[in-house]
Homo-oligomer: A and B are copies of this chain.
Protein backbone atom coordinates (compact mmCIF):
# COMPACT_ATOMS: atom_id res chain seq x y z
CA UNK A 1 0.00 0.00 0.00
CA UNK A 2 2.61 2.44 1.13
CA UNK A 3 4.88 1.14 -1.59
CA UNK A 4 2.17 1.77 -4.15
CA UNK A 5 1.74 5.34 -3.01
CA UNK A 6 5.45 5.97 -3.18
CA UNK A 7 5.68 4.52 -6.67
CA UNK A 8 2.78 6.68 -7.85
CA UNK A 9 4.38 9.75 -6.31
CA UNK A 10 7.71 9.03 -7.98
CA UNK A 11 6.03 8.48 -11.34
CA UNK A 12 4.04 11.69 -10.93
CA UNK A 13 7.18 13.63 -10.07
CA UNK A 14 8.99 12.17 -13.08
CA UNK A 15 6.11 13.28 -15.30
CA UNK A 16 6.14 16.75 -13.76
CA UNK A 17 9.89 17.00 -14.31
CA UNK A 18 9.64 15.87 -17.95
CA UNK A 19 6.87 18.36 -18.67
CA UNK A 20 8.70 21.21 -16.95
CA UNK A 21 11.95 20.46 -18.76
CA UNK A 22 10.21 20.21 -22.10
CA UNK A 23 8.14 23.34 -21.51
CA UNK A 24 11.14 25.37 -20.45
CA UNK A 25 13.13 24.15 -23.48
CA UNK A 26 10.30 25.33 -25.72
CA UNK A 27 10.45 28.72 -24.01
CA UNK A 28 14.20 28.96 -24.53
CA UNK A 29 13.79 28.02 -28.16
CA UNK A 30 10.92 30.18 -29.34
CA UNK A 31 10.96 33.34 -27.26
CA UNK A 32 13.29 35.93 -25.85
CA UNK A 33 12.60 35.06 -22.23
CA UNK A 34 14.87 35.65 -19.23
CA UNK A 35 15.62 33.24 -16.36
CA UNK A 36 12.40 34.06 -14.53
CA UNK A 37 10.45 33.47 -17.72
CA UNK A 38 12.12 30.11 -18.43
CA UNK A 39 11.55 28.77 -14.92
CA UNK A 40 8.02 30.18 -14.75
CA UNK A 41 7.08 28.56 -18.06
CA UNK A 42 8.65 25.29 -16.94
CA UNK A 43 6.65 25.28 -13.72
CA UNK A 44 3.45 26.24 -15.55
CA UNK A 45 3.96 23.43 -18.08
CA UNK A 46 4.63 20.94 -15.29
CA UNK A 47 1.84 21.92 -12.90
CA UNK A 48 -0.67 23.82 -15.05
CA UNK A 49 -2.74 20.87 -16.21
CA UNK A 50 -3.33 19.59 -12.68
CA UNK A 51 -4.14 23.09 -11.48
CA UNK A 52 -6.78 23.64 -14.16
CA UNK A 53 -8.26 20.23 -13.33
CA UNK A 54 -8.43 21.04 -9.63
CA UNK A 55 -10.04 24.43 -10.31
CA UNK A 56 -12.75 22.74 -12.40
CA UNK A 57 -13.23 20.14 -9.66
CA UNK A 58 -13.41 22.83 -7.00
CA UNK A 59 -10.56 21.08 -5.17
CA UNK A 60 -8.75 24.24 -4.10
CA UNK A 61 -6.01 25.00 -3.33
CA UNK A 62 -4.73 22.71 -6.11
CA UNK A 63 -2.99 19.60 -4.78
CA UNK A 64 0.30 19.90 -6.65
CA UNK A 65 0.60 23.63 -6.04
CA UNK A 66 0.41 23.02 -2.30
CA UNK A 67 3.08 20.30 -2.34
CA UNK A 68 6.62 21.71 -2.33
CA UNK A 69 8.04 18.55 -3.94
CA UNK A 70 6.14 19.21 -7.16
CA UNK A 71 7.20 22.85 -7.15
CA UNK A 72 10.82 21.88 -6.54
CA UNK A 73 10.91 19.24 -9.26
CA UNK A 74 9.23 21.56 -11.78
CA UNK A 75 11.57 24.43 -10.92
CA UNK A 76 14.54 22.08 -11.27
CA UNK A 77 13.38 21.13 -14.75
CA UNK A 78 13.11 24.80 -15.66
CA UNK A 79 16.55 25.70 -14.31
CA UNK A 80 18.12 22.75 -16.10
CA UNK A 81 16.64 23.97 -19.36
CA UNK A 82 17.92 27.47 -18.65
CA UNK A 83 21.48 26.39 -17.90
CA UNK A 84 21.91 23.47 -20.27
CA UNK A 85 19.33 24.19 -22.95
CA UNK A 86 22.01 24.59 -25.58
CA UNK A 87 23.33 21.09 -24.88
CA UNK A 88 20.06 19.27 -24.35
CA UNK A 89 19.11 19.07 -28.00
CA UNK A 90 21.22 15.93 -28.16
CA UNK A 91 18.74 14.35 -25.76
CA UNK A 92 15.69 15.33 -27.80
CA UNK A 93 14.61 11.73 -28.33
CA UNK A 94 14.88 10.83 -24.65
CA UNK A 95 13.01 13.94 -23.63
CA UNK A 96 10.24 13.21 -26.13
CA UNK A 97 9.82 9.74 -24.65
CA UNK A 98 9.79 11.14 -21.11
CA UNK A 99 7.19 13.64 -22.24
CA UNK A 100 5.04 10.83 -23.67
CA UNK A 101 5.37 9.02 -20.35
CA UNK A 102 4.27 12.16 -18.53
CA UNK A 103 1.31 12.52 -20.88
CA UNK A 104 0.20 8.93 -20.18
CA UNK A 105 0.60 9.20 -16.46
CA UNK A 106 -1.13 12.57 -16.17
CA UNK A 107 -4.09 11.46 -18.31
CA UNK A 108 -4.71 8.37 -16.18
CA UNK A 109 -3.97 9.97 -12.81
CA UNK A 110 -6.07 13.02 -13.70
CA UNK A 111 -9.06 10.88 -14.65
CA UNK A 112 -8.70 8.82 -11.48
CA UNK A 113 -8.57 11.95 -9.31
CA UNK A 114 -11.66 13.36 -11.02
CA UNK A 115 -13.60 10.14 -10.32
CA UNK A 116 -12.45 10.14 -6.71
CA UNK A 117 -13.77 13.67 -6.29
CA UNK A 118 -17.17 12.67 -7.66
CA UNK A 119 -17.01 13.75 -11.30
CA UNK A 120 -19.13 11.88 -13.85
CA UNK A 121 -17.49 9.66 -16.48
CA UNK A 122 -17.53 12.21 -19.35
CA UNK A 123 -16.15 14.86 -17.01
CA UNK A 124 -13.46 12.50 -15.77
CA UNK A 125 -12.31 11.77 -19.33
CA UNK A 126 -12.17 15.49 -20.13
CA UNK A 127 -10.35 16.29 -16.91
CA UNK A 128 -7.84 13.48 -17.46
CA UNK A 129 -7.02 14.87 -20.89
CA UNK A 130 -6.96 18.39 -19.45
CA UNK A 131 -4.44 17.31 -16.83
CA UNK A 132 -2.25 15.91 -19.59
CA UNK A 133 -2.41 18.77 -22.08
CA UNK A 134 -3.36 21.79 -19.93
CA UNK A 135 0.14 22.78 -18.87
CA UNK A 136 1.49 22.82 -22.41
CA UNK A 137 -1.55 24.78 -23.56
CA UNK A 138 -1.01 27.49 -20.94
CA UNK A 139 2.65 27.68 -21.95
CA UNK A 140 1.74 28.08 -25.61
CA UNK A 141 -0.77 30.82 -24.82
CA UNK A 142 1.84 32.72 -22.80
CA UNK A 143 4.34 32.28 -25.63
CA UNK A 144 1.77 33.53 -28.13
CA UNK A 145 1.46 30.29 -30.04
CA UNK A 146 -1.65 28.47 -31.14
CA UNK A 147 -1.54 25.57 -28.67
CA UNK A 148 0.10 22.65 -30.42
CA UNK A 149 -2.48 20.31 -28.93
CA UNK A 150 -5.13 21.95 -31.12
CA UNK A 151 -3.20 21.78 -34.34
CA UNK A 152 -0.41 19.26 -34.50
CA UNK A 153 -0.06 15.54 -34.45
CA UNK A 154 -1.50 13.03 -32.12
CA UNK A 155 -1.16 14.69 -28.74
CA UNK A 156 -4.70 15.06 -27.43
CA UNK A 157 -5.94 11.75 -28.86
CA UNK A 158 -3.65 9.48 -26.81
CA UNK A 159 -4.52 11.49 -23.71
CA UNK A 160 -8.22 10.95 -24.40
CA UNK A 161 -7.58 7.24 -25.03
CA UNK A 162 -5.73 6.85 -21.74
CA UNK A 163 -8.32 8.77 -19.75
CA UNK A 164 -11.22 6.87 -21.34
CA UNK A 165 -9.66 3.48 -20.61
CA UNK A 166 -9.00 4.56 -17.04
CA UNK A 167 -12.62 5.61 -16.56
CA UNK A 168 -13.96 2.42 -18.18
CA UNK A 169 -11.75 0.30 -15.95
CA UNK A 170 -12.89 2.12 -12.83
CA UNK A 171 -16.57 1.92 -13.86
CA UNK A 172 -16.27 -1.72 -14.83
CA UNK A 173 -14.68 -2.67 -11.55
CA UNK A 174 -16.30 -3.12 -8.18
CA UNK A 175 -15.02 0.15 -6.83
CA UNK A 176 -14.76 3.65 -8.19
CA UNK A 177 -11.11 3.75 -7.30
CA UNK A 178 -8.79 2.66 -10.05
CA UNK A 179 -6.73 -0.45 -9.38
CA UNK A 180 -3.02 -0.43 -10.14
CA UNK A 181 -3.05 -2.96 -13.05
CA UNK A 182 -5.86 -1.14 -14.87
CA UNK A 183 -4.08 2.16 -14.43
CA UNK A 184 -0.87 0.74 -15.84
CA UNK A 185 -2.76 -0.69 -18.82
CA UNK A 186 -4.51 2.59 -19.59
CA UNK A 187 -1.28 4.54 -19.31
CA UNK A 188 0.52 2.02 -21.53
CA UNK A 189 -2.15 2.35 -24.22
CA UNK A 190 -1.80 6.13 -24.17
CA UNK A 191 1.99 5.86 -24.32
CA UNK A 192 1.93 3.47 -27.27
CA UNK A 193 -0.51 5.61 -29.27
CA UNK A 194 1.58 8.70 -28.60
CA UNK A 195 4.94 7.15 -29.46
CA UNK A 196 3.63 5.40 -32.57
CA UNK A 197 2.00 8.67 -33.63
CA UNK A 198 5.31 10.51 -33.18
CA UNK A 199 7.30 7.89 -35.12
CA UNK A 200 4.86 7.75 -38.03
CA UNK A 201 4.10 11.47 -38.02
CA UNK A 202 0.38 10.78 -37.79
CA UNK A 203 -2.11 13.64 -37.57
CA UNK A 204 -5.65 13.74 -36.32
CA UNK A 205 -8.23 14.41 -39.07
CA UNK A 206 -8.51 18.00 -40.27
CA UNK A 207 -11.56 19.78 -41.64
CA UNK A 208 -11.91 19.71 -45.44
CA UNK A 209 -10.97 22.71 -47.59
CA UNK A 210 -11.25 25.97 -45.72
CA UNK A 211 -14.62 27.52 -46.28
CA UNK A 212 -14.45 31.11 -47.39
CA UNK A 213 -16.79 32.34 -44.76
CA UNK A 214 -18.30 35.76 -45.36
CA UNK A 215 -17.19 38.39 -42.90
CA UNK A 216 -19.81 39.80 -40.61
CA UNK A 217 -21.00 36.48 -39.27
CA UNK A 218 -22.00 36.79 -35.66
CA UNK A 219 -19.58 37.36 -32.88
CA UNK A 220 -16.52 37.60 -34.97
CA UNK A 221 -17.02 40.18 -37.59
CA UNK A 222 -14.01 42.34 -38.20
CA UNK A 223 -11.80 39.35 -38.07
CA UNK A 224 -8.54 41.16 -38.01
CA UNK A 225 -6.93 38.41 -35.97
CA UNK A 226 -3.80 36.65 -37.12
CA UNK A 227 -3.86 33.44 -39.07
CA UNK A 228 -1.47 30.63 -38.83
CA UNK A 229 0.46 30.23 -41.98
CA UNK A 230 -1.18 27.39 -43.76
CA UNK A 231 0.79 27.36 -46.92
Contacts and interface: CB of A to CB of B under 8 A. Distances in A.
A223 B157 CA distance: 18
Interface stretch (A1-9, A167-175, A176-184, A202-210): A202-210
B151 A204 contact: no
A141 B137 CA distance: 11
Interface residues of A, number: 100
B222 A153 contact: yes
Contact of A220 (B26, B66, B219): B26
Contacts of A151: 31-34, 37, 222, 224
Interface in A131-160: 136-137, 140-153, 155-157, 160
A97 interface: yes
Contact of A140 (B34, B35, B160, B225): B225
A191 to B, nearest CB: 12
Contact of A148 (B23, B141, B144, B225): B225
A52 to B, nearest CB: 11
Interface string A84-111: 0111110011011111100100000000
A28 interface: yes
Given A157-B36, A221-B152, A31 B228 contact: yes
B89 A214 contact: yes
Contacts of A65: 56, 123
Interface in A209-231: 209-214, 216-230
10 contacts: A22-B220, A28-B210, A55-B55, A56-B65, A58-B61, A61-B119, A85-B207, A144-B226, A152-B223, A198-B218
Interface of A: 19, 22-23, 25-38, 40-41, 51, 55-58, 60-62, 65-66, 68, 71, 81-82, 85-89, 92-93, 95-100, 103, 119-120, 122-123, 126, 136-137, 140-153, 155-157, 160, 198, 203-214, 216-230
The 4 A-B residue pairs with the shortest CB-CB distance in the complex, in nearest-first order: A145-B225, A58-B60, A96-B218, A37-B150
Given A56-B62, A144-B225, 9 more contacts: A22-B220, A25-B213, A35-B204, A66-B123, A89-B213, A96-B219, A142-B150, A145-B225, A198-B218
